């Protein structure tokens, strides 16, 4: 399993939210490029960059995303509000290793199949869930779909992975939803990226034991609950 720091962008800053709520912003750092360089210097070989404003259709941090891509040497996967093929093409052209798509990919499976076929092994689908119910549009729209069913439906599409975010524990430092992640791993033919709730090394070991391929960490490394250098050293393969 590998560990990937999250660099969440809002208003040009790097932030951390609790439960995806913009009213519960716990971290705000003014220089996302410097933050990205720090995680790379700590030993991480991958970054997870998300444009929260684009996801919510309230703005764009596209220039900041491009600055990060041009400023680090590690692999960067980018998500947040990506709904057009032209956006995906530009991100790959600028050096993104993987692109994360959510709302449109879930609502329009034909579109997802098409872009995954064009960029095989390079697209990650964000399967966000409160408890086990899929949520989209920046976690604001609740569907009637079970996230495990969604994971299974993606098996025949040539993806880089499926990122399962447990929104109900996101940013709370209370531990990941291990049963959810274990079920997702069992259901998926693709690597499963886990996001939400990670507090420290023990949680990472538990996720690795469940068969998770990658763990996205946010609040834990920004608050110091998780030692970033120790995590980068132990979890890079």
Helices (H), 42-137: 52-55, 62-71, 85-93, 103-107, 109-118
Give the number of C-alpha atoms closer than 13 A to the C-alpha of residue 36, restricted to the C-beta side.
28
Residue of 169, 231, 232, 164 whose CA lies nearest to 200:
231
From CA 122, how far away is CA 135, in angstroms rounded? 23
Of 51, 128, 183, 203, which is the active-site residue?
128
Q: Helix or strand or coil: residue 16?
A: strand
- Residue 128 catalytic? yes
- Residue 8 catalytic? yes
Task: Quote the crossing angle between the two packed helices 32-41 and 62-71, to the nearest 10°.
Answer: 30
Residues with a catalytic annotation lie at 8, 128
């Amino acid at each position: 399993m590998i560990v990937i720091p999250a660099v969440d962008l809002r208003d040009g800053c790097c932030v951390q939210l609790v439960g995806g709520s913009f009213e519960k912003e716990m971290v705000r750092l003014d220089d996302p490029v410097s933050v990205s360089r720090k995680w790379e210097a700590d030993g991480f070989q991958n970054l997870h960059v998300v444009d929260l404003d684009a996801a919510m259709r309230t703005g764009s941090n596209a220039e900041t995303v491009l600055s990060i891509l041009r400023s680090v040497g590690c692999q960067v996967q980018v998500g947040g509000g990506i709904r057009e093929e032209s956006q995906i093409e530009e991100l790959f052209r600028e050096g993104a290793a993987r692109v994360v798509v959510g709302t449109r990919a879930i609502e329009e499976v034909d579109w997802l199949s098409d872009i995954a076929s064009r960029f095989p092994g390079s697209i990650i689908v964000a399967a966000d869930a409160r408890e086990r119910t899929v949520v989209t549009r920046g976690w604001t729209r609740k569907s009637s779909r079970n996230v495990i069913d969604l994971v299974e439906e993606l098996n025949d599409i040539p993806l880089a992975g499926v990122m399962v975010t447990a929104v109900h524990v996101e940013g709370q430092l209370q531990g990941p939803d291990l049963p959810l992640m274990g079920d997702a791993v069992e259901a998926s033919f693709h690597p499963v990226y886990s996001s939400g709730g990670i507090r420290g090394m023990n949680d990472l070991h538990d996720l690795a034991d469940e068969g998770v391929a990658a763990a996205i960490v946010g609040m834990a490394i920004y608050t110091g609950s998780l030692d970033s250098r120790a995590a980068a050293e132990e979890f890079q393969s």
